[in-house]
Amino acid sequence: MLVREFEFKMKDGRTASVRSPREDDAAGLLDYLYVTACETEFLMRYPEECGKYTIEGELRFIKNANSSDREAAALCLVEGEIVGLANVSWSGAIKTKHRASVAIALIREFWDQGIGTVLMEELIRIAEENEDLIQIELDFIEGNVRARALYEKLGFRIVGVKPNAIRLKDGTLLNEYSMIKEIKR
Ligand SMILES: CC(C)(COP(=O)(O)OP(=O)(O)OC[C@H]1O[C@@H](n2cnc3c(N)ncnc32)[C@H](O)[C@@H]1OP(=O)(O)O)[C@@H](O)C(=O)NCCC(=O)NCCS
């Protein structure tokens, strides 16, 4: 589904805008996927694994996110550049259609500007509007204190840990934590 279009002020006073991705964002999204993979180990992809992403794949992602009634993507732009993307989706399966998943990543230069809070609040609002949903779920990698702080601020709580879920290239093993935010009905 399409997300609401709006602008907000980042902590540094600049204006950021939020909207659904469009077809002409496909190339920008490929850059974003690569840059974010280079900038943090708290995402599931290494930069060299970004070759699997293609313009056609991004066009499919954009079309699906915008046209599906069980998915939405919110792009954040500053001065015309993509600085972040967050998405929410849920299954149509009878046994699991009460559970939504969210994911988010921003370009590092734009961390700590309040963008994560704004994008996540928008996705939570979308999930709350869907009456089937009773919980929003996400995972974060051990050590991602910024993500954890953001999620806890928004009402998510840790419900489980998968030991050694992540192995970095240097062999470091990290746990993955699962969080849930319940939607009051
Ligand atoms: C995690 C991420 C989405 C957060 O977005 P963001 O725009 O930086 O977050 P916000 O600025 O809205 O909020 C971050 C909060 O964490 C707090 N914070 C920042 N660093 C912190 C730290 N070291 N310890 C505790 N809290 C911290 C900030 O104070 C802020 O809280 P506040 O708004 O109450 O002041 C973003 O940093 C990012 O994309 N990181 C890389 C990719 C990633 O980790 N994605 C999530 C995977 S689960």
- Confirm if 101 and 126 have CB atoms less than 8 A apart: no
**Per-residue pLDDT tens over the stretch 59-92:** 999 999 999 999 999 999 999 999 999 999 999 9
Write out pLDDT tens, residues 155-180: 999 999 999 999 999 999 999 999 99
Residue nearest to atom 15 of ligand 1 (CA): 150
CA distances from 129 to 90, 96, 119, 134 (A): 13, 17, 16, 11
The CATH number covering residue 42 comes to: 3.40.630.30
Q: Does residue 184 carry a pLDDT above 90?
A: no
What's residue 39's pLDDT? 98
Alpha helices in the chain (DSSP H): 26-39, 55-67, 115-129, 145-153
Secondary structure class of 183 (helix, strand, coil):
coil
- Whole-number mean pLDDT of the chain? 98
Q: Which range of residues forms the domain containing residue 71?
A: 6-182
- How far does residue 118's CA lie from ligand 1's centre (Å)? 11
| Mean pLDDT, residues 36-61 | 97
Atom of ligand 1 nearest to the CA of 112: 11
**The whole model's pTM is what?**
0.98
Whether 156 maps to a domain, the answer reads yes
1 domain residue, yes or no: no
State which of 150, 151, 174, 176 you would mutate to test the pocket of ligand 1, scoring each by most atoms of that ligand within 8 A of its C-beta.
Answer: 150
Count of structural domains, the chain: 1
Cα–Cα distance, 174 to 6 (Å, whole number)? 37
